[in-house]
Amino acid sequence: MTLTRVFHVDPLNPDQSVVEYCCEVLRSGGIVVFPTETVYGLGALASNGEAARKIFIAKGRPADNPLIVHISKLEQLYEVAENMPEDVMKAVSVLWPGPFTVLLRKSPRVAKEVAAGLPTVAVRMPAHPVALRLIDCAGPIAAPSANISGRPSPTTGFYTLLDMFGRVDAIIDAGETLYGIESTIIDTTTKPYKVLRPGAVPIEKVAEVLGQEIIVPEQARGLGEYEKALAPGMKYKHYSPETPIILVESTSPKDAIQRLAKEYIEKGKKVLVIASRETIEVLRGCTPRTTSYGSRHNMFEVARNIFKVLRELDREGVDIAIVEGVEEKGLGLAVMNRLRKAASKIIKTTS
Ligand code: TXA
Ligand code: MG
């Protein structure tokens, strides 16, 4: 068990002494949980392989699943990566700081443990004052999401406490994150560019900025064979609460959800329906318990709530959750990727 120091800071104006303390922890080879605009990260210095190993142990993460390197200024990109294509430089100048991660050729200055032995490195510049100040002080930070491997990514400091207390040297709690879903990862090492993981920047936006089409493979939609995963992390089961989830992908979800809920209730099961506000409105009175992830007309809200809803599910005391899918447009692509990976069963209907 590691002694964990917990700090609460103002997300916009963090106490400089906390930043300096955590910077010193990182410099001396420790690991620190810090907020980003997407989800919380668990960081170590990107140049320190020994410290990166501690991250894998703290998370119970397989050693073949590489970490994202976080930078705070463009110059640092040249420290961690090589061979930056012209169009990628243009895209990052628009999308950074922000939830956009690019896969590039790795520089030898990034520890091999961080890239899990791969010749590539995933890099992003987070848009969060605490993360930026910490990186400014310590240098590039390698960080996966700060959850125990397999659990939903943490969107609040409290969730990182539940997963990481006693496993890390420090936790900086700055409240709830803005997007609540991880960054969009694009592989720019080969053309045409492809999505490795859809995330908080819609693919449509990335394609527009890059001025070219981006391939969306089946795996990026949360479909297809895990063995053929593009990003090593995508072959593992993810975001999964203990409670089994049935995902309903339907053009008229209300009827499918109602039918399924009835079926399980008749079998004596306790059911929770997780759906859009609009669907819950029309289901009123038909199922005993419902939770909303937001409006189906506001994917920002749905993306922001989805991990929270998945995390809370195991505390609901139900046997099964029936979840309404969303349209795979804009942020809906990222939401469906997470829901399909969390689901134990997917039911598709056209009516
Ligand atoms: O928003 C985010 O991206 C958050 C915050 C903390 O920045 N980070 C995050 O990291 O979600 P993580 O480790 O939970 O997910 C990173 C994903 C994994 O699926 C990993 O396999 C993939 O990125 N990845 C990292 N480096 C890679 C590489 N060199 N090649 C292919 N995939 C890579
Ligand atoms: Mg993760």
> Does position 228 have pLDDT exceeding 60, yes or no?
no
Q: State the angle between helix axes of 332-342 and 299-313 in degrees (0 to 180), rounded to the nearest 10.
A: 20
CA nearest neighbour of 280 among 296, 262, 299, 300: 296
- pLDDT greater than 80 at residue 225: no
Averaged pLDDT of the chain: 94
Residue of 185, 193, 201, 219 to mutate, ligand 1, most atoms within 8 A of C-beta: 185
Where exactly are the structural domains of the chain?
5-221, 245-349
Pairing of strands 68-70, 141-143: antiparallel
Beta bridge partners of 7: 172
Give pLDDT, residue 240. 80
**5 phi, psi to nearest 5 deg:** -95, 130
Tens digit of pLDDT for each residue in 236-281?
Answer: 567 788 899 999 999 889 999 999 999 999 999 999 999 999 999 9
Instruction: From 96, 132, 145, give the residue whose CB has the most ligand 1 atoms within 8 Å, as the site to mutate.
Output: 145
Residues with Cβ within 6 A of ligand 1? 36, 38-39, 41, 65-68, 99, 101, 103, 115, 118, 120-122, 126, 143-145, 182-183, 185, 196-197, 231-234
pLDDT of residue 231: 67
State pTM to two decimals: 0.96
**Residue 217 pLDDT greater than 60, yes or no:** yes
Which ligand minimizes its atom distance to the CA of 239? Answer: 2
| Ligand 1: nearest atom to the Cα of 120 | 29
Identify the burial level of 71 via C-beta atoms within 10 angstroms of its C-beta, where 0-12 means exposed, 13-18 middle and 19 or more buried: buried
Q: What residue has token string 């492809």?
A: 194
- Residue 41 Cα distances to 106, 131, 189, angstroms: 21, 9, 25
The tens digit of pLDDT for each residue in 14-31 reads 999 999 999 999 999 999
Q: How many helices (H) and strands (E) in the chain?
A: 11, 16
219 CA from centroid of ligand 1 (Å): 15
> At what angle are helices 16-27 and 129-138 packed, to 10 degrees?
50
Q: Say if 5-221 and 245-349 have the same CATH topology.
A: no
pLDDT exceeds cutoff 60 at 227? no
Coil, strand or helix at 211: coil
Neighbour tally for 295: CB within 10 Å: 13
Q: What is the predicted pLDDT for the residue at 241?
A: 86
Distance of alpha carbon 310 from alpha carbon 215, whole angstroms? 28
* Domain 5-221: which CATH number of 1.10.3720.10, 3.20.20.140, 3.40.190.170, 3.90.870.10: 3.90.870.10
CA distance 340 to 245: 9
Superfamily of domain 245-349: Threonylcarbamoyl-AMP synthase, C-terminal domain (3.40.50.11030)
Query: Cβ distance 295 to 303 under 8 Å?
Result: no
Give, using CA atoms, the residue closest to atom 30 of ligand 1: 231
d(CA 196, CA 221): 10
Phi and psi for 57 in degrees, rounded to 5? -70, -45
Closest Cα to atom 13, ligand 1: which residue?
144
